[in-house]
């Protein structure tokens, strides 16, 4: 397989931080208000429950990766254990998701820079960011891994600091005149489940979107040192760490501040740091969000480039995507994606883009395609078990509670999609996401018909 030529330079620490960087986005730093408003303090449970589902997804992926650690991982598994169409759909879904996320993060960088330099042109900032990240991705996978490690480290350190300071406010009254805030805000403003079951499920559908990117571990497997050991260590720790950051941060937010007042206080992160006397809180959080945006763009460029590389290997895209540089990096996909991000960023600068919500709709439409890999991983794992019975006898990293955990997770993910459609605020994103998946499916169908027709014609010519 062609991916054996990719350089294995990513360590377990790189893999974990890449997954963290792809999962922990700027939305958390803005207070996760859209999630909390639907269900109040029980948003805590929504993040925890979603984390359990994603744990099963990652364990299913880990079980397969341990046996077959290849670049493109879940795409290859989709083609092998489900159908080539599943691999095609998953790959293009992943490319679309990360390209759109990359564009939005590049645009966000320009916005965050305006905090310090209000008149600095956003498009110049975007060009600088894309060229810098493209350079890191083209130079070597280790350069990408190191850059993403430090981007993610800044986010993680900030969240941990916020959790520790928040606990100081809650338990010891630090920054609150020595009076502990206590835990009453968890139930004293309409109860713990303020939106009922419906509100909780609406929140859960938004929370699932926040976890997208965690499957990036699967895409790094083909370029990891000692992949089996790195995969086991990374997956065993990644979900727990993500849960600590998300659940811990949300716990601090809804405990310190009444949930129904969050929309009026601005960023809870800024407010928490300010409360304990850190006067540069606004600038600090703005810097963290700047690095978070660059991290999202960096992860997107890596992920989508490996997907395009896989498409080339599977003959579903130009063979040029399989070309490797002297640093053993698929350079054509990186260049194509960089150009795509620049075009998207520049289109956003046009007057028509700023006067409409077209870009917002397109961005949110990536949520449903972004969930496709999770469905594919869980379904592939069912067939994988049947085909690898002998190798699983001494497998040290089996999917727990198989196959009940697979079916349970598939049902929950399906319920989430249904409630995303029911919810007026997420319905348009689901519809656009469905339209994209239908378009990709139609393209695959047309290609299959053309290929079949050519095969029939070639057979006829041989007979004649």
Read off the pLDDT band of 31 (50, 70, 90): very low
pLDDT for 22? 60
CATH architecture of 2-459: Up-down Bundle (1.20)
**pLDDT tens, residue by residue, 94-142:** 888 888 888 888 887 887 888 888 888 888 888 998 998 898 888 877 7
Contact call for residues 78 and 94 (beta carbons, < 8 A): no
Q: Is pLDDT of 457 > 80?
A: no
Q: Is the pLDDT score of 4 beyond 50? A: no
Residue position matching structure tokens 């760490």: 241
Q: What is the pLDDT of residue 3?
A: 45
Distance, C-alpha 362 to centroid of its chain: 16
Q: In terms of residues, how long is the chain? A: 464
- Residue 132's CB: how many other CB atoms inside 10 A? 14
Which range of 16-20, 98-102, 274-278, 402-406 scores highest in mean pLDDT? It is 402-406
What are the residue ranges spanned by the domains of the chain?
A: 2-459
Contacts 24+ apart (CB under 8 A), 442-449: 444/85, 444/88, 444/89, 448/85
- For residue 211, what pLDDT is reported? 80
Average pLDDT over residues 431-445: 92
With cut-offs at 50, 70 and 90, classify the pLDDT of residue 377.
very high
User: Residue 349 in contact with residue 122, Cβ under 8 Å?
Assistant: yes
Q: Is the pLDDT of residue 405 over 90?
A: yes
Please report the pLDDT score of residue 203 as a whole number: 85
Average pLDDT, the chain: 82
Q: Which two tokens stand for residue 422?
A: 């029911």
Residues 440, 319: Cα–Cα separation, whole Å:
19
CB 310 within 8 A of CB 75: yes
By three-state DSSP, how is residue 132 classified?
A: helix
Is the Cβ–Cβ distance between 432 and 365 less than 8 Å? yes
Percent of the chain scored above 90 by pLDDT? 18
The pLDDT score that the predictor gives to residue 19 is 63
Could you tell me what percent of the chain has a pLDDT over 70?
Answer: 86
Tell me, what's the pLDDT at 380?
A: 95
């Amino acid at each position: 397989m062609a991916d054996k030529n990719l350089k294995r330079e990513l360590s377990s620490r790189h893999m974990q931080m890449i997954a963290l960087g792809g999962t922990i986005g700027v939305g958390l730093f803005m207070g996760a208000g859209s999630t909390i408003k639907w269900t109040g303090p029980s948003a805590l449970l929504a993040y925890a429950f979603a984390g359990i589902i994603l744990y099963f997804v990652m364990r299913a992926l880990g079980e397969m990766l341990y046996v077959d650690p290849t670049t493109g991982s879940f795409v290859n598994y989709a083609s092998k254990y489900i159908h080539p169409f599943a691999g095609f759909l998953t790959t293009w879904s992943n490319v679309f998701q990360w390209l759109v996320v990359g564009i939005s993060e590049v645009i966000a960088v320009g916005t965050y820079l305006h905090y310090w330099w209000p008149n600095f042109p956003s498009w110049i900032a975007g060009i600088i960011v894309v060229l810098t990240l493209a350079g890191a991705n083209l130079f070597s996978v280790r350069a990408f891994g190191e850059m993403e490690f430090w981007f993610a480290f800044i986010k993680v350190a900030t969240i941990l600091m916020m959790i520790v300071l928040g606990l100081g406010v809650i338990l010891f009254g630090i920054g609150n005149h020595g009076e502990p805030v206590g835990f009453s805000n968890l139930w004293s403003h309409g109860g713990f489940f303020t939106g009922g079951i419906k509100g909780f499920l609406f929140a859960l559908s938004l929370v699932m979107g926040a976890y997208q990117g965690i499957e990036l571990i699967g895409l790094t497997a083909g370029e990891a040192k000692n992949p089996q050991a790195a995969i086991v260590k990374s997956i065993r720790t990644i979900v727990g760490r993500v849960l600590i950051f998300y659940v811990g941060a949300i716990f601090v937010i809804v405990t310190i501040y009444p949930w129904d007042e969050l929309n009026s206080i601005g960023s809870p992160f800024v407010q928490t740091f300010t409360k304990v006397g850190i006067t540069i809180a606004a600038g600090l959080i703005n810097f963290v969000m700047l690095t978070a945006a660059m991290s999202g763009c960096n992860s997107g460029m890596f992920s989508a480039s490996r997907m395009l590389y896989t498409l080339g290997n599977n003959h579903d895209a130009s063979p040029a995507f399989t070309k490797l540089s002297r640093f053993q990096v698929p350079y054509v996909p990186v260049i194509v994606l960089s150009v795509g991000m620049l075009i998207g960023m520049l289109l956003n600068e046009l007057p028509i883009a700023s006067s409409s919500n077209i870009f917002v709709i397109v961005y949110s439409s990536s949520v449903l395609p972004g969930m496709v890999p999770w469905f594919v991983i869980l379904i592939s794992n069912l067939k994988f078990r049947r085909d690898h019975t002998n190798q699983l006898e001494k497998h040290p990293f089996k999917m727990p509670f198989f196959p009940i955990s697979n079916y349970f997770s598939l049902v929950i993910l399906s319920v989430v999609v249904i409630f995303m459609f029911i919810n007026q605020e997420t319905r348009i994103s689901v519809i656009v996401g469905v339209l994209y998946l239908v378009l990709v499916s139609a393209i695959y169908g047309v290609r299959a018909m053309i290929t079949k027709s050519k095969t029939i014609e070639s057979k006829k010519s041989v007979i004649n």
